[in-house]
Amino acid sequence: MRYLPLDEIKEGMFLARSIFGEDGRTLLAKGAKLTKGYLQKLQVLNYTHLFIGDRKEDLDFKDPINEQIYSQAIGAVREIFLDAAKQQTLEFKTVLDVVDFMVDEVMDEDLLYNIFDLRNHDNYTYLHSVSVGTIATIMGKNWGLGRSDLKELAAGALLHDIGKMCVAEPILKKEGLLTKEEYEQMCFHPKYGFELLRSAPGVSLLSAHVAYQHHEREDGSGYPRGLAEDQIHLYAKIVMAADSYDAMTSGRRYSRTLWSHEALAQLAADVPEKYDPEIITLLAQSVALYPIGSVVLLNNLEVGLVTDVNRADIKIEFLTGEAKGQIVALAPNALLKIVRRLS
């Protein structure tokens, strides 16, 4: 499986990861043979990259959560967010059911978050929420949280941005940079989220505080209350790191999309002023430095493709040299190492 720009993808290649719409429904399923018509439609929908495969085995990999639960999560987040925007009565049962499924998936597997969503402007908010929920849940498991605590964390993570639905739509959808006044309005969204969640049936007060605190920072420079260090709850620290990491790696409109190792390096550079050092270490232990599909340069000057990632090693298929086509496992202490990512 490879992660390629749309303009490098040829007819006849296979889609290696499903593409979901803003309502969670599958737009194009994993395994679909890409035609000229499909590629043109995806370009119109503003997709810039796809996960593609040339062989059947390229389609065999394990997601952090399975596609059915992932799809349900997107749909549930979208529904509750739209109801919040319309100021309708909020029913959280579907979201909380999804939280149960997500936690069960993460508890049953020992996985890194090693693959990224295919997003466009229309589905960004909902897919971002689901990705932050997934990353935060993996981080919580690695921290040692039990199932009930993970559910509180996952619920707060999935719903961390619900308060944005109370911000004026022109501000949310503005194409250019926000004015000072617009930015100040946007800074209220954590408080709005807390107010929506604090008395919601089935949502704990702690989950509501995750939404309230996810833009706070260790040095007190965050918003909306300027909390610092131990004033910020552990779960909020986890979600703020997951939120920042996903935003950096998922194609925000006004900044360059970073690769995983670049995002982790940037977050580490903001320790301890902005982020708790233990939490950034936890994040680095929970996401893949070089996700599946990365093309990398090795220290023997050969080029390889990352085909699998786990805590013990990274599997690389050689794309060049005498070993072309062979797959090797790179353990942390191996002589053969990745120098940098190429694509």
pLDDT at residue number 52:
86
Inform me whether the pLDDT recorded for 60 exceeds 80.
no
Inform me whether the pLDDT recorded for 315 exceeds 60.
yes
Buried b (16+ CB within 10 A) or exposed e, 171-182: beeeeeeeeeeb
Cα–Cα dist 328/330, whole Å: 6
Determine the 3-state secondary structure of 339 from DSSP: strand
Q: What is the mean pLDDT of the chain?
A: 90
**Phi, psi angles (nearest 5°) of residue 142:** -70, -25
Q: Please give the average per-residue pLDDT across 46-55, as a whole number.
A: 80
Q: Where are the alpha helices (DSSP H) in the chain?
A: 36-44, 67-85, 93-108, 124-143, 147-158, 169-172, 180-186, 189-197, 205-213, 234-249, 260-269, 277-286
pLDDT at residue number 122:
62
Q: Please give the average per-residue pLDDT across 29-35, as a whole number.
A: 88
Q: Please give the average per-residue pLDDT across 15-29, as a whole number.
A: 86
Q: Please give the average per-residue pLDDT across 113-141, as a whole number.
A: 83
Cα–Cα dist 103/151, whole Å: 6
pLDDT in tens, 211-251: 999 999 999 999 999 999 999 999 999 999 999 999 999 86
pTM of the predicted structure, to 2 decimals:
0.89
214: Cβ contacts below 8 Å, ≥ 6 apart: 160, 190, 236, 239, 240, 243
9: Cβ contacts below 8 Å, ≥ 6 apart: 34, 39, 50, 52
Q: Please give the average per-residue pLDDT across 145-168, as a whole number.
A: 96
Inform me whether the pLDDT recorded for 146 exceeds 70.
yes
Cα–Cα dist 54/16, whole Å: 9
Inform me whether the pLDDT recorded for 253 exceeds 80.
no
Q: Please give the average per-residue pLDDT across 264-274, as a whole number.
A: 97
Inform me whether the pLDDT recorded for 321 exceeds 80.
yes
Cis before 5? omega within 30: no
Inform me whether the pLDDT recorded for 62 exceeds 90.
no
Q: Please give the average per-residue pLDDT across 38-63, as a whole number.
A: 78
186: Cβ contacts below 8 Å, ≥ 6 apart: 164, 167, 171, 178
Any idea what DSSP says for residue 33?
Answer: B
pLDDT at residue number 115:
62
Cα–Cα dist 240/312, whole Å: 27
Residue 225: CB atoms within 10 A of its CB come to 15
Determine the 3-state secondary structure of 88 from DSSP: coil
Residue type, 186: M
